[in-house]
Structure 1
């Protein structure tokens, strides 16, 4: 549809789709159906649905025309700028009827007054420079208004302040006015700023807008009204203050002599151009206010998380279905967009108690470390000590607020804790299998490397720990079955071993795995995870096999007068010089 050019159209049983381009600085869009004829008689039984197809149905504008001969009109104030607007026309006369009409789209554009800055090198004294585009800007009387049908020749309808966009990080943008720190707000025309958030990577953060009026310029009777809208700015301050454009409901702000500051936070803003418009509103019969001017300082930026989620949260960047967004992961019962809602928060005493519970429960690993050293399982004892150390300091660093202590990077501590837990289970089951020394240590190393690789792929995957554990269990079961068949009796042979060690250890391990996989939640994490520490360490201490009964750990086969000895370990078949 060309502006102000009637488009003849015949509407049959199926809908027809029209579109009209809305350029920048369009104040109003008027859609009109003229010369309607329905089945040879005057009438206009047509339903128009106007709006982008991506909008929900309750945001679209619907106009149902009647059979009256007068024109059917739909007026849209502040339609979306610089885009095609879809119009769907449907016949209401039935499947066999036809409706003919002429569709007309009339655009009313306003004259913007752009505030320009001087370039560093001026080629001409009469030429200004538009810093937002890097090109010389035309005078306001010759602004390119696209393909608008009519241009309002009245005084300027708005004052455009160019804004520079600066990308500082992922989902982090800072907007700054060019060559100035404040916006000049007057009662005659609104002041407008365009915030470009249309790159496709800006909708995953929070848009923060902060306004502060000059204290000396604010009077008791003056009020500054601001509107933040997407797609097009709100320009009808004189007629309404609801910040509503053609399809969107904006966010209102106000400044007065008693409240000179205003803040607005928009989480996950729509991917589009956003507009901030301000105007000074004067009361009736206040002639002095008509000439008043107030300078307003603006702070405009896009951040992933507000205040970096504070002391009780962690800002996380998440990607799902090619959509990148940020969010706060709150701890200690805190909630909200930036973890500032303390309605269900824990007290400082509760936080410290939880930290002590999670860290001190790792001291249970002293039991398997002691048993391993006594039975000369030194590799296993080293793995348990590694797990106890990094699990303790990981949970000390994982706490929010005041009860936190980090000796290394949080991600490093978390990785080492997960790796130690998986390796501890792996070496315990393989030790129970009673493999030959060379084969056992080879499996120790290969299993640890596989666990490290799987944790790098998906650190919180449940099969990262269950997979190697099941594989080690199959090896142990195979070795025990082989010994049962070879010795013609159950292995282990001692009923005391089954009663006092194996069955309690297996029960503790089963309960620990059930708690870890199905019962652990964010609310009971402090208790269930501490129980997991105790059960894991206790089961390892009970399940470790006893040393060989008929062989001493170290025996010396030959002595020399120079006090050097060649010692032989019959089990390990290793020779050392002491």
Structure 2
């Protein structure tokens, strides 16, 4: 016979493997797997070390030593609450013991009890938000005879994207000076060997350990992105100095077990967001103002309060530049354009006032509503400015304006931060403008616009500012320089609109009829539109 390797691993998921090398004259090797995974097949792979063309014969003997769990059964509670959904731990049902009998080592069917299994209710609160609690109460009785185990069902495939939070609390009067409550949190199988080891290690998993004592009566454990599996909370009372003191001691431990998307909802300096990749849902904190960490609690690079207020002032007051295109639009009788610029200025100001973290925050509406209106106003402002430059007939102009607004609303609903959601319709409007200008150049046999002053003092500065604004928005804006670059974007966008708006026609009155209104009907001719209206 030749030496060979044996690999032992759970089927799925595979945390790590146990490798056993069989060598020596006897060719006998043993592997002990304490607390193997529950309700799962174990895969055994044998690999010869003698070469690719050498056959190796071997035999394997598997011996499983198990005991029966004592399940704290609350069947009557379930019958009294038939409409409440729950997931209860499965196992061999036995007569439900009272709390006064949990310390006894009773044999049922020839096998001793090795653990007290508390049935746990799972309550789905929201997306990646679950509450676990014992069926009858929040407290769990812990003693020295055997571990008290709670199974947390996190095997739905949608629970690995949050953070598992375990909080334990013990009454000070119930813990003596020489007693210690040891806690282990493991996946796949519970840790049961508190009498021989306290390292919380099972066959394929290194667990998390906690402890409660007279000096530390509270313990908290946070596991970000827990593995998709059944998790087990094991508790047992131990007395390292005087074991005889634990024989009759019992401690009630209050438990708070939650699966939350983000810790503390990311605090005042972060926002909890959900991400979906390849069918998996993850939650995470998007930190602001230089804060970092799982829950945005790391202030090593955080901004001061003065810096936060300065950033808020930059992002909000920069929108006052829209007063220039609003004033020009009203003066030139472009009332629709003026209303759109006013809409953009209003929602951009209050969106950025609500978007800031920490103390400098002011939200007059829901954050998502303010963000949507800000993005919509910015896109429609660019759209209406280019259409106004094209000098279209009023009917066609307002039809395109309405259609463009509807397209912006649809695209922002699909992907709010997509660059082409804004650039696509604006390029289409730019093509319309160029087409109309080329048509007028061919029709008049002269360049349009005809005045070189219009090109030098208005169009070229406006186009330069618009090009610079697009460059900053698409390629130069980062999270570090956002306060400055986005404020510059506001000013360039408003300034370019003021430069690019077409001038007022000096030879024709801005209204539809130049005559004074009389008491009878008359036909008024609008020279600009070449239409007749009855007034």
Q: TM-score, normalised by structure 1?
A: 0.85
Paired position in structure 1 for 2:5: 47
Matched, 1:524 2:481: yes
Contact 1:558 1:565 in 2 (8 A): no
Tell me the residue number matched to 2:423: 466
Give the 3 Å change call, closer, same or farther, for CA 121–47 of structure 1 in structure 2. closer
Please say if residues 69 and 91 of structure 2, whose CA atoms lie closer than 8 Å, have aligned partners that are also in contact. Answer: no
Query: Does 2:94 align with 1:138?
Result: yes
Report the equivalent of 1:267: 224
Q: Structure 1 CA distance, aligned partners of 2:91 and 2:67?
A: 22
**2-side partners of 1:383 and 1:568: how far apart?**
29
Partner of 1:484: 441
Superimposed CA distance per residue, residues 266-315 of structure 1 (whole angstroms, 9 cap, x where no aligned partner): 11111110000011121234532332211111111111111111111111
Instruction: Say which of 268, 286, 297 aligns to 1:329.
Output: 286
Specify which of 269, 277, 291 is matched with residue 320 of structure 1: 277
Q: 1:324 to 1:55 in 2, by over 3 A?
A: closer
Contact 2:11 2:40 survives alignment (8 Å)? no
Q: Which residue of 2 aligns with 1:399?
A: 356
562-571 vs 197-206, which moves further: 562-571
Pairing 1:277-288 to 2, within 5 Å after superposition: 277-288=234-245
- For 1:211-222, list aligned pairs within 5 A: 211-222=168-179
Determine if contact 1:182/1:295 at 8 Å carries over to the other structure: yes
| Residues 1:290 and 2:242 are matched in the alignment | no
- 1:507 and 2:470 are equivalent in the alignment: no
**1:453 & 1:187 partners in 2: Cα distance?**
63
8 Å contact from structure 1 (residues 282, 290) kept in 2: no
User: How far apart, in 1, do the equivalents of 2:122 and 2:492 lie?
Assistant: 55
* Paired residue secondary structure (2:499): helix
- Relative to total residues, which structure has the larger strand share, 1 or 2? 1
1:183-239 deviations in whole A, cap 9, x for unaligned?
111122111111111111111111110011121011222211100000001111122
Shift of the alpha carbon at 1:576? 6.6
Corresponding residue for residue 102 of structure 2: none
Q: Distance in 2 between matches of 1:440 and 1:120?
A: 69
So what's the TM-score if we normalise by structure 2? Answer: 0.91
Counterpart for residue 364 of structure 1: 321
- State the shift of 1:154 in Å: 6.6
| CA shift for structure 1 position 567 | 5.8
CA–CA distance in structure 2, aligned partners of residues 372 and 407 of structure 1: 27
Secondary structure at the counterpart of residue 530 of structure 1: helix
Structure 2 residue 147 is the aligned partner of structure 1 residue 190:
yes
Paired with 1:104 and 1:118, the residues of 2 have a C-alpha distance of: 40
2:357 is aligned with 1:423: no
Whether 2:145 is the aligned partner of 1:199: answer no
Does structure 1 retain, via aligned residues, the 8 Å contact 2:9–2:44? yes
Over 3 Å counting, the alpha-carbon distance change for 1:82 and 1:120 in structure 2 is closer
Q: CA deviation at 1:555?
A: 7.0
Instruction: Give the distance between the partners of 2:415 and 2:488, measured in 1 at CA.
Output: 24
Is 1:103 matched up with 2:63? no
User: Are 2:398 and 1:441 equivalent residues in the alignment?
Assistant: yes
Structure 2: distance between partners of 1:363 and 1:90: 74
Give the deviation of 1:536 after TM superposition: 0.2
Given that residues 144 and 237 in structure 2 are in contact (C-alpha distance below 8 angstroms), is that contact kept between their aligned partners in structure 1?
yes
Equivalent residue for 2:336, pick from 371, 379, 391: 379
SS of equivalent to 1:363: helix
Per-residue CA deviations over 1:519-553 (Å, capped at 9, x if unaligned) read: 11111111111100000000000011112232122
Distance 1:334 1:90 in 2: 51
Number of equivalent positions: 518
Instruction: Tell me the equivalent position of 1:125.
Output: none
**Aligned equivalents of 1:378 and 1:232: distance in 2?**
71
User: Is 1:231 the equivalent of 2:218?
Assistant: no
Residue 570 of structure 1 pairs with residue 535 of structure 2 = no
Distance 1:203 1:524 in 2: 34
**Structure 2 unaligned regions, length at least 5:** 80-85, 98-107
Checking the alignment, whether the CA contact within 8 Å between 1:210 and 1:261 is kept in structure 2 is: yes
Residue in 2 that maps onto 1:147: none
Once residues 63 and 237 of structure 2 are traced to their aligned partners in structure 1, the CA distance between those partners, rounded to angstroms, is 30
Counterpart in 2 of 1:310? 267
Aligned to 1:494: 451
CA distance in 2, matches of 1:135, 1:112: 7
Q: CA deviation at 1:139?
A: 3.9
The RMSD of aligned alpha carbons is 2.5
Distance 1:247 1:394 in 2: 50
User: How far off is 1:347 after superposition?
Assistant: 1.6
The 3 A distance-change label for structure 1 pair 96 and 136 is closer
Structure with a larger share of its residues in helix: 2
SS of aligned partner of 2:234: strand
1:89 to 36, 43, 46: 46
* 1-structure distance, mates of 2:92, 2:63: 30
Name the stretch that deviates more: 403-412 or 547-556: 547-556
1:116–1:131 CA contact under 8 A, matched in 2: no
Alpha-carbon distance between aligned partners in 2 of 1:286 and 1:314, rounded to the nearest angstrom: 49
1:5-36, CA deviations, whole angstroms, 9 ceiling, x for partnerless residues?
xxxxxxxxxxxxxxxxxxxxxxxxxxxxxxxx
Tell me the CA shift for residue 379 of structure 1. Answer: 1.2
Kindly tell me: are residues 568 and 409 of structure 1, through their superposed partners in 2, closer, same or farther at Cα, counting changes over 3 Å? farther
